[in-house]
Amino acid sequence: MEETSDHDLMLAVRAGELSRLGDLFERHHRPLYGFLARLIGDREAAEDLVQIVFQRILKYRHTYRDEGKFSAWIYHMARRVAADHYRRSARQGLATDPTDFDHVSDEAAPTADSSASKQDDLDVMQRALQSLPTEQREVLILHRFQHLPHQEIGKLLNISTGAAKVRVHRALAALRDKFFQLTRRPSASA
């Protein structure tokens, strides 16, 4: 049996089959949660924001168009919800728990020192990510964690695919620079 596409499910929701929103929720709530948790840096708030995204999908279902991809539309909605959250809370990101990063464990059990070193690197990487401007953090999360292709990011941000590639590249360079800046800081004072 062939799985119904997100686009077809959303068209059904738009047509009034509101129970199909549950299927979309099952498919997209975890990726949206990951996106929002990384973007705003608050896991509890991200859970609430995912609910708001789906409430808005229901409320604004009539605005969904037949062209484009559903994933671009839902991430556009999530970005707006996050922007509203920022305006309400008047803060530009919070520290997050670095264990929120999804990672694949090694087959062999890591040694304590390598685990501590890896955790330290994750801590520094999370601080570096949170220190980036929202626009750079957002494009990195969409590309690296949500695995959206450059073309979809371009549509989402109303820019060309080439411009999306440039923004991702610049954001990665900024993240790398910030990471190395943070890792050198303790050794410079020693």
Both tokens of residue 111? 């040694």
- The full set of domain ranges for the chain reads 1-94, 111-185
Cα Rg of the chain, angstroms: 19
User: How long a stretch of residues is the chain?
Assistant: 190
pLDDT at 118: 62
> Which residue carries 């062939």 as its tokens?
2
Fold that domain 111-185 belongs to in CATH = Arc Repressor Mutant, subunit A (1.10.10)
Fill in the DSSP letter of residue 15.
Answer: T
H helices present in the chain, as ranges: 6-14, 20-40, 43-59, 70-89, 112-131, 134-140, 150-157, 161-189
Q: What is the mean pLDDT of residues 54-60?
A: 92
pLDDT at 102: 47
The answer to pTM > 0.95 is: no
Residue 130 has pLDDT above 90, yes or no: no
Q: Using 50, 70 and 90 to split pLDDT, how confident is the model at 124?
A: confident
Q: What is the mean pLDDT of residues 132-161?
A: 89
pLDDT at 145: 83
* Domain formed by 1-94, architecture: Orthogonal Bundle (1.10)
